[in-house]
Structure 1
Amino acid sequence: MKKITLILSILLFTLSVKAQITKGNWMFGGDAIIQGYKFKNSEKFNYYAEIFPKAGYFVIDKLVIGSEIGIFINSATFYTSFVPFTRYYLLSPEKTINPFIEGGLGFKNIKDKQDIDPTLTEFMYQFKLGTSIFFTNSVGLNVTLNYKNNSFQFDQEISVAFGFQIHLEKK
């Protein structure tokens, strides 16, 4: 088993795939997040999972502008979010593993299911540091470290996300 893992690791790091991160291409995908959050004036962190579909368009090589939509449901809360973002890949499109930085500004609409608090809309901003691992020129796996700051209910959120993305080549 160790030999197979070593061979796959070497193969992954030595392959050269030209990813579709060039002007005129589209990016579609989504992230699954394991997230921790902390209420203001509290020392306790809570955890949950979310899914965020996203889409974007490469306006120049390595720079995509798009938006993500988030939906979260647990026993007490339902929320949706909308966050336009900008992502910049740091290496050339030929790299199989390509780190990126991403930032976005948006809104989160929170509804307490038990109607204890009224619906709340929060302004939020987020930053992501991550890398894409391209299996083909059109399919990649993303791993990101995320930081969000919200204006009302949650002070700060830190998360790790895993997701897939599909790049559609211009014709």
Structure 2
Amino acid sequence: MKKLLLGAFVIAAGFFSSANAQIQEGNWMVGSSIISSRFGLNTGAGYDIALQPKAAYFIKDNVALGGYVNLGISKVTKGSPTAFDYGVGALGRYYLSPGEQGVDNLLNHGRWFFEGNVGIGGRSIENADSTTGLDFGVGPGYSYFITPNIGIEGLVKYVGRAGFGNEGLNSNITFNVGFSIYLPTSHAKRIANEVK
């Protein structure tokens, strides 16, 4: 019971912390793009939906490094075969400070960021050839904080795969909507030590 109360206290304390504290050194970001629509730049490319969980640790203020997993399913047309996309790799984020490089926040409770990733991924198509290769991507995003520690995010990203199998370079522009939870680990550790 004591651990349950401590956990609830840590979460509540996180929600009421300063709005600027979520992207400070020592914190964690855990989230996912829950809707991803992709419009292909290559001939014959189409539309797909993906779930992209990610986690990152803030190595310094405004800079986070971590990893991602990509799981998606797609069909080019109604009669086309189903394709399954997968990937895993490293990601990095840089959050712009208000007024930095002439970029002001559009909203008082949000932050612009740039995200980049690199990893291994592939595509498996039913009754057809599959490929695995180097996944990479980069693009801008915006996180609107509905509480000091929960952000709803939009991200536009150029993504590509340099295939080692039956495909060469395949590239797309993705439009992602998701959320992230920012966990103030240093604050949580201090509260846990005080309770002991």
- TM-score normalised per structure 1: 0.79
Give the alignment of 1:124-163 within 5 angstroms.
124-152=135-163, 153=167, 155-163=170-178
Segments of 4+ in structure 1 off by > 6 A?
A: none
Q: Given the alignment of the two structures, is residue 36 of structure 1 paired with residue 48 of structure 2, yes or no?
A: no
1:157 aligned partner, one-letter code: N
1:96 aligned partner, one-letter code: H
Give 2:58's aligned residue. Answer: 58
Give 2:19's aligned residue. Answer: 17
Looking at secondary structure, tell me which structure has more helix per residue: 2
CA-based RMSD of the aligned residues comes to 2.0
2:49 aligned partner, one-letter code: A
Give 1:91's aligned residue. Answer: 97
Q: Is the 8 A contact 1:17 1:96 kept in 2?
A: yes
Distance (whole Å) between structure 2 residues aligned to residue 145 and residue 98 of structure 1: 15
Question: Number of matched residues?
Answer: 150
Give 2:70's aligned residue. Answer: 70
Distance (whole Å) between structure 2 residues aligned to residue 66 and residue 46 of structure 1: 29
- TM-score normalised per structure 2: 0.70
Unaligned runs of 5+ in 1: 1-15
Deviations along 1:19-75, whole A, 9 cap, x unmatched? Answer: 411111111000021111244xx2x44111111011111111111101110111245
1:146 aligned partner, one-letter code: K
- What percent identity do the matched residue pairs reach? 28
Deviations along 1:110-150, whole A, 9 cap, x unmatched? Answer: 22222x21x42111210020111111111001111110122
Distance (whole Å) between structure 2 residues aligned to residue 80 and residue 26 of structure 1: 24
Looking at CA atoms only, which structure, 1 or 2, has the larger radius of gyration? Answer: 2
Looking at secondary structure, tell me which structure has more strand per residue: 1
Unaligned runs of 5+ in 2: 1-17, 75-80, 99-107, 190-196
2:62 aligned partner, one-letter code: K
